[in-house]
Amino acid sequence: LVIGQSYDEESSEIREESDPTDCLSDRNVALSEGYHQLYVPECTPDGRYQKELLQFLHTKMSEIINGNSSFNSLAWIASKEEQAATWSFVVFDKNKNKMLEKSEWKAFKDMVGSVKGLRKCGKKLPRYCDSNKDRQISMTEWLECLNVQQ
């Protein structure tokens, strides 16, 4: 984790990175504040989020695509996690520029925020996924952040 300047996804201002946004930090905060009130994320050893977000996205994808023959076009993808991650990126990329921009993150945060156990994860994930801090999330950043391989 690089500590330095960053931006706040809720505003356009630059801020000092004093509040790490990786999974391990989020988990420690949730545990210290009492996990009964906060979502306590499960983390991989290198600080990425575990698969529960991907399971949620896969369920959402299946609900929306159920019965749609275009779902078969994702058959080349190796896992349901990759299907969910790829599908969600395409859905949230409204302007189809192959980058998730700040304005497009809102749809993700709204969808994930409606699920009690994923609210905190959904709020911080876009900022965490923007590994190069360019205020855009590429497909590569998205898949790496969600811990899936392409």
Question: Whole-angstrom Cα distance, residue 12 to residue 147?
Answer: 27
Q: How many domains does the chain have?
A: 1
- Listed in sequence order, the residues at least 6 apart from 68 whose beta carbon sits closer than 8 Å to its beta carbon are none
Q: What is the pTM of this model?
A: 0.53
Structural domain of residue 39, as residue ranges? 5-145
Phi, psi of 138 (to 5 degrees): -80, 165
Question: Whole-angstrom Cα distance, residue 120 to residue 71?
Answer: 30
Q: Considering the domain boundaries, does residue 150 fall inside one?
A: no
Burial 130-148 (b: 16+ CB within 10 A, else e): beeeebbbbbebbbbbbbb
Q: Considering the domain boundaries, does residue 95 fall inside one?
A: yes
- For the chain, residues with pLDDT lower than 70 are 1-22, 26, 30, 33-42, 47-51, 65-78, 149-150
- Which pLDDT belongs to residue 69? 47
SS3 8: coil
β-partners of residue 137 are: 100
pLDDT over 70 for what percent of the chain?
A: 61
